[in-house]
Amino acid sequence: MRVTGSNQSGSLFGSVSARPAVGSGVVQAAPAARPAADIPTVLGIPHHEFTPRVRDAIMRLMGEVDALRQELAQHRRRMAQLETEADHDVLVPCLNRKAFVREMSRILSFVERYGLPASLIYIDLDNFKEINDRHGHAAGDAALLHVCEVIRGHIRESDLIGRLGGDEFGLLLAKANQREADMKADLICQIIKASPLVWAGRAVPISFTTGAYEFKAGENPAEAMARADRAMYERKKARP
């Protein structure tokens, strides 16, 4: 086999250009080559049939391939992290409104296609402004975090919670009909009332209202959210 140059295009392994370090203008050294024993053949040719220079060039190229693979894996991990951050609320550990609506669209498609039950619980904090006014905005943020964590601790892995607005949350219940959603909403009310927020050494009760609604085939997310919101306000008006 004849090799006329390490940068010749159209060679057996193709051309590989050296990549400079960011901002340095200096060509980076290739990663440490792997031992020849680790590379028994290249394209079916045993390594001992190559000249030392060709073998060294192959080792350098394979080291660069390994480095590129590691860099690609790092970029993929970073992209996955950014996608996760883009879907989550900036304050509490749950989905933001955009991601929540997207997941609701997905569940609605399953409802329509397979006839599976699913429901939405709309949760509105009644005394959120009072908490902010009496205890400060830091206490208000703590109240939102407390509610979110309590709910997360009492739902299934298949259920999803999202923050829909300032003091409003939504809970998606897969394979849950209206009766089951009503029961879940009542249970959440009981749990949160039994575990008030503790702020500055004092218990701060959190009052809220829920509205449960079972999805219907053919609905879109805006219609379903409006009906769950209406169910919540009906319960709020009926409160003595």
Give how far the C-alpha of residue 143 lies from the chain's centroid of Cα atoms, to the nearest Å: 23
Query: Which of 89, 124, 159, 167 is an active site residue?
Result: 167
Phi/psi at 37 (5° precision)? -65, -20
Distance separating alpha carbons of residues 59 and 62, to the nearest angstrom: 5
Claim to verify: residue 61 and residue 116 sit in the same structural domain: no
With tokens 């053919």, the residue in question is 218
Residue pair 239/127 in contact (Cβ under 8 Å)? The answer is: no
- pLDDT block averages, 10 residues each, the chain of length 240: 41 41 46 51 67 80 86 76 73 95 95 94 93 94 95 93 94 96 93 90 92 95 95 87
Question: How many domains is the chain partitioned into structurally?
Answer: 2
Q: Is residue 4 part of a domain?
A: no
pLDDT at 47: 65
Q: Is residue 6 part of a domain?
A: no
pLDDT at 21: 43
Domain containing residue 222: CATH number: 3.30.70.270
pLDDT at 78: 72
C-alpha atoms less than 13 angstroms from C-alpha of 131 in its C-beta half-sphere:
26
pLDDT at 81: 63
Helix (H) or strand (E) holding 129: helix 128-135
Claim to verify: residue 116 and residue 183 sit in the same structural domain: yes
Domain boundaries, position 114: 97-238
Angle at 29 between CA 28 and CA 33, to 5 degrees: 145
C-alpha atoms less than 13 angstroms from C-alpha of 4 in its C-beta half-sphere:
4
Residue type, 178: Q
- 167 is a catalytic site residue: yes
Whole-Å CA distances, 133 to 97, 138, 195: 26, 11, 21
Q: Is residue 23 part of a domain?
A: no
pLDDT at 233: 92
Q: Is residue 180 part of a domain?
A: yes
Q: Is residue 142 part of a domain?
A: yes
Distance separating alpha carbons of residues 132 and 125, to the nearest angstrom: 12
Q: Is residue 161 part of a domain?
A: yes
Claim to verify: residue 229 and residue 111 sit in the same structural domain: yes
Distance separating alpha carbons of residues 128 and 143, to the nearest angstrom: 8
Claim to verify: residue 77 and residue 187 sit in the same structural domain: no
Helix (H) or strand (E) holding 214: strand 208-214
Claim to verify: residue 233 and residue 116 sit in the same structural domain: yes
pLDDT at 59: 80
Pairing mode of beta strands 45-46, 160-163: unpaired
With tokens 């769950």, the residue in question is 228
Claim to verify: residue 128 and residue 194 sit in the same structural domain: yes
What would the pLDDT profile of 186-224 be if each residue is shown by its tens digit? 999 899 888 899 999 999 999 889 999 999 999 999 999
Distance separating alpha carbons of residues 239 and 107, to the nearest angstrom: 31
Claim to verify: residue 168 and residue 77 sit in the same structural domain: no
Claim to verify: residue 132 and residue 224 sit in the same structural domain: yes
Distance separating alpha carbons of residues 136 and 139, to the nearest angstrom: 5
pLDDT at 2: 41
